[in-house]
Amino acid sequence: MRLFEIHDQEWFPQFLRDEFVDGLQMILDVTNTYQPIAKLLRKRLEQCGAERVLDLCSGAGGPWPSLVRDFESSGARLPEVLLTDKYPPTKMLSIRESASASKIHFHAHSVDATQIPEHLDGFRTLFSSFHHLQPDEARGLLQDCASRGRGIAIFEAPARRAITLLSLLLIPPAAWLFVPFRRPFRWSRLLWTYLIPVIPFVLFFDGLISCLRSYSPAELREMTKGLATDHYRWEVGEKSGGLLPLRVTYLVGCPGSVFAESGD
């Protein structure tokens, strides 16, 4: 469903957008939403020989801070990770970069996922952001990856499933419960969460719209028809796990790879 999310709009103030992506980041950290796909991502990055990851629509960093810990605990080699966003929250990203040492870097300038500059190279990743693209834009991004021989991994937690939609009811209570423990502490976060609860509302509203806009595995398979070649392969599937009983939909493309539908 082609609806709009509040935080995507140009009229939405940047300081509120920063608070929104910080709140979303907090929820991702607490629920460990993307833990089920960590092993899959590690294998595909190794399989594609990725030296650098270009993360698109990163917000406040998405799951990469926790994925870094997963890479390190498993003994896997972590490529350089460059975070990009159309509306980069540079202040928060700089804090995250310093906390992650040399593992994660951020690009301070705006990067549109549909118009990626030539000089930004690497294996591309998107976490719960692919649904922001219209079907023609989404297919254009996939076509660009296949044409340029760039690997891509897309992971979507939002979905048009009853259990996922019901889980959205937990978002406002989670924001109210965990905000006081979020670091670094900011009074503005309390203001826009408790006194003027804009952030819990936008988190819930945009979460609902994200689910309604999400692409199903069947739609992703249809989108990649005609893009696969002898030198580029696509893999679509779902993984479940983490704190909540949610399934993460994934679409992975890699040059020169042969995927098993029941892949690890």
pLDDT tens digits along 73-132: 888 888 899 999 988 876 655 555 444 456 788 888 899 999 999 899 999 999 999 999
Q: Give pLDDT, residue 78.
A: 83
In tens, the pLDDT along 205-258 reads 999 999 999 999 999 999 999 886 768 889 999 998 766 778 899 999 998 754
Burial 149-168 (b: 16+ CB within 10 A, else e): ebbbbbbbbbbeeeebeebb
pLDDT at residue number 62? 78
- The tens digit of pLDDT for each residue in 8-45 reads 888 999 889 888 988 888 888 788 888 889 999 999 99
Distance from chain centroid for Cα 241:
17
**pLDDT at position 18:** 86
DSSP state of 184: S
Question: If you count them, how many residues does the chain have?
Answer: 264
For 107, other C-beta atoms within 10 Å of its C-beta total: 18
Of 207, 177, 162, 159, residue with least CA distance to 20:
207
Average pLDDT of the chain, as a whole number:
86
- pTM for this structure? 0.89
Regarding predicted confidence, which is higher, 262 or 233?
A: 233
pLDDT tier at 264, thresholds 50, 70, 90 = low
- d(Cα 56, Cα 85) in Å, to the nearest integer? 6
> What whole-number distance in Å separates Cα of residue 250 and Cα of residue 237?
5
Per-residue pLDDT, 89 = 76
More confident residue, 177 or 92: 177
pLDDT of the residue at 198: 95
